[in-house]
Amino acid sequence: MWIADQWKDYEVIDTSQGEKLERWGKYLLVRPDPQVIWNTPKKHPGWHKMNGHYHRSSKGGGEWEFFDLPQEWSIRYKDLTFNLKPFSFKHTGLFPEQATNWDWFSDIIQKANRPVKVLNLFAYTGGATLSAAKAGAAVTHVDASKGMVNWAKENAASSGLSEAPIRWLVDDCVKFVEREIRRGNTYDGIIMDPPSYGRGPKGEIWKIEESIYPFIELTTKLLSDDALFFLINSYTTGLQPAVLSYMINTTVVKKLGGYVEASEIGLPVSSNGLILPCGASGRWMRK
């Protein structure tokens, strides 16, 4: 398992009864997590001193209950700053477990000793974009949500990357990739974090089980002949590491060689030293 264990401003403190107790900077949040199927005692005092609690509804969705929590605050990861704000569907605008992937491709970019072009698809609030830019890459950031792209720009400004070579695009990822292929553009690294289900700006429907393999095949055409890496993340039950590995092997490796690794990603739980699983990632490298 790949573990995001370099955080100072974030930690999973404890997990029990379908929920996780987290510290985001100086604030404590309790949020539901479908992986937490155990019912260990909630002994940590933080369970009773939370600043925000997302209550899952039996009808789907849910709502926040706040206790002295600001509308927005920020935390840092190494040299990056992320602006947080709780919004619907329990999220805060950041997936801390992805830091293990940020460190992985940042190291590759820095060691390349040449200009590196990176494409970040379904790019959300820009964690991967900022990490790649900080490492020295020129990044194209694509997301179908204008609000998320604006949020990512705010994170870039907070991280001192307003002048970094980042191209911000509000677009349907599939249609963007198709246009880039027609233009003859290529990239040295591609990152994608596709949702289980979604809609593009013009109502385009995305169902990951039906769409992901054709999309990987399509996106592979954008990898340069001397590409460095390819990364896909999945939070979808059923898209296990071995599935991600199989898809990358039959697309990227078939075209460029190299090798593939795939694993669960996770976060350490500080109260007991165990690891909370948080999805899966598949990685391709040139060597």
For 21-74, the pLDDT digits (tens) are 999 999 999 999 999 999 999 999 999 999 999 998 877 789 999 999 999 999
The predicted structure's pLDDT at residue 200: 63
Say how far apart CA 73 and CA 195 lie, in whole Å: 26
Q: What percent of the chain has pLDDT over 90?
A: 86
Amino acid 33 reads D
- pLDDT above 70 coverage of the chain, percent: 99
Per-chain mean pLDDT for the chain: 94
Query: What is residue 201's predicted lDDT score, i.e. its pLDDT?
Result: 62
Please check whether residue 280 is in contact with residue 240, taking contact to mean a CB–CB distance below 8 angstroms: yes
| pLDDT score, position 248 | 98
Q: Which of the residue ranges 54-58, 90-94, 103-107 would you say has the lowest mean pLDDT?
A: 54-58
What whole-number distance in Å separates Cα of residue 64 and Cα of residue 259? Answer: 43
d(CA 218, CA 252): 10
CA distance 75 to 10: 8
The CA-based dihedral angle spanning residues 172, 178, 180, 181, taken in that order and rounded to the nearest 10 degrees: 160
User: What DSSP string runs through 11-49?
Assistant: EEEEEETTEEEEEETTEEEEEE-TT--------SGGGGS
Cβ atoms of 8 and 76 within 8 Å: the answer is yes
Residue 112 has which token pair? 């390349």
Above 90 in pLDDT, residue 88? no
Confidence grade of residue 209 (pLDDT, cut at 50, 70, 90): confident
Is the pLDDT assigned to residue 259 strictly greater than 70? yes
Q: Can you give the pLDDT at residue 210? A: 79
Q: How far apart are CA 32 and CA 45, in angstroms?
A: 18
Q: Token digits for 146?
A: 């204008």
The angle formed by the CA atoms of residues 141, 146 and 149, to the nearest 5 degrees, is 35
Residue 54, helix vs strand vs coil? strand
- Phi and psi at 58, nearest 5°, equal -65, -15
This prediction's pTM: 0.94
Reply yes or no on whether the pLDDT at 275 is more than 70. yes
Can you read off the two tokens belonging to residue 243?
A: 């599935």
Q: Indicate the range of 69-78, 135-144, 189-198, 268-277 predicted with least confidence.
A: 189-198
Write out pLDDT tens, residues 172-201: 999 999 999 999 999 999 999 988 777 766
Give the pairing of strands 10-16 and 80-84: unpaired
**Please, what are the domains in the chain?**
2-73 (2.60.40.1180), 96-285 (3.40.50.150)
Give the number of residues written for the chain: 287
